[in-house]
Amino acid sequence: MSNLPETNRSRDSQLWKDLVLGSEQALGSLMRIHYRSLLNYGQKFNRDEEFLKDCIQELFIEIWNRKLTLSSPDNVKAYLFSSLRRKIYREAHKLPLFHHESADAEDGGLHVEFSPEWWLIEEESLAERTRKMGYLLNLLPKRQREVIYLKYYQELSRDEIAQVMAISPQTVSNLIQLAFMNLRDRIKTVSISLFAFLALFIR
């Protein structure tokens, strides 16, 4: 189970190489594999599903059209997330009714909302803990929520998160540390132990 992310990355890397060589099947496979994750991630920035579907489709069209000049990313998934993130912001600014929400450097980022379903917890005994955990996570500033989302839900490394969010790896580490400091300070208010909380992160 611990080797699954690495296996997925190797699969993605091979598909990417095949895509660059002109394989439409490889392009379709990458889109099929990552479509749901990309749509889920995009919905944290924009709730318009049709707009997001267009962005994802256009992203893969652009990748196909530029295949001869593309280099091989270290992590295809991180590359796709980063590319979609930039595309959503570019395309959203073109919309007639676009409204830009002002945000400072700390609070900028996606609107992640965590729920018990997000964790796919099957044991009923953990349902209450996950509900409380979701409540705590939703209290975090936006960028702290984003690093937690990318690290524990999308299983990206520190460097890959830095690539997606266009920040330094050290800033990623700082945000994770701040997130856990904030969570630690609030844990007692919802009667859940730090050990139990962290155990859910590192299942």
Q: E strands, 23-65, where?
A: none
Q: Which pTM does this prediction carry?
A: 0.66
4-8, 30-34, 176-180: which is most confident: 30-34
Number of domains in the chain: 2
Least confident of 27-31, 159-163, 184-188: 184-188
**Of all residues in the chain, what percent carry a pLDDT higher than 70?**
70
CATH code: domain of residue 27: 1.10.1740.10
pLDDT at 189: 55
Give whole-number Cα distances, 9 to 3, 16, 63, in Å.
Answer: 10, 10, 18
**Three-state DSSP state, 114:** coil
Instruction: Give the pLDDT of residue 30.
Output: 95
For the segment 24-50, the average pLDDT, to the nearest whole number, is 90
Shared domain check, 8 and 88: yes
CB atoms within 10 A of CB 144: 25
Over residues 111-170, the pLDDT tens digits come to 555 555 544 544 444 556 666 677 778 888 889 988 988 988 888 999 999 999 999 999
Token readout for 7 is 């296996």
Range of the domain at 188: 116-201
In a domain, 100, yes or no: no
CA distance 59 to 120: 29
CATH of the domain at 126: 1.10.10.10
**105 found inside a domain:** no
Average pLDDT for 77-103:
74
| Domain co-membership, 78 together with 131 | no
Would the pLDDT of 202 be above 50? no
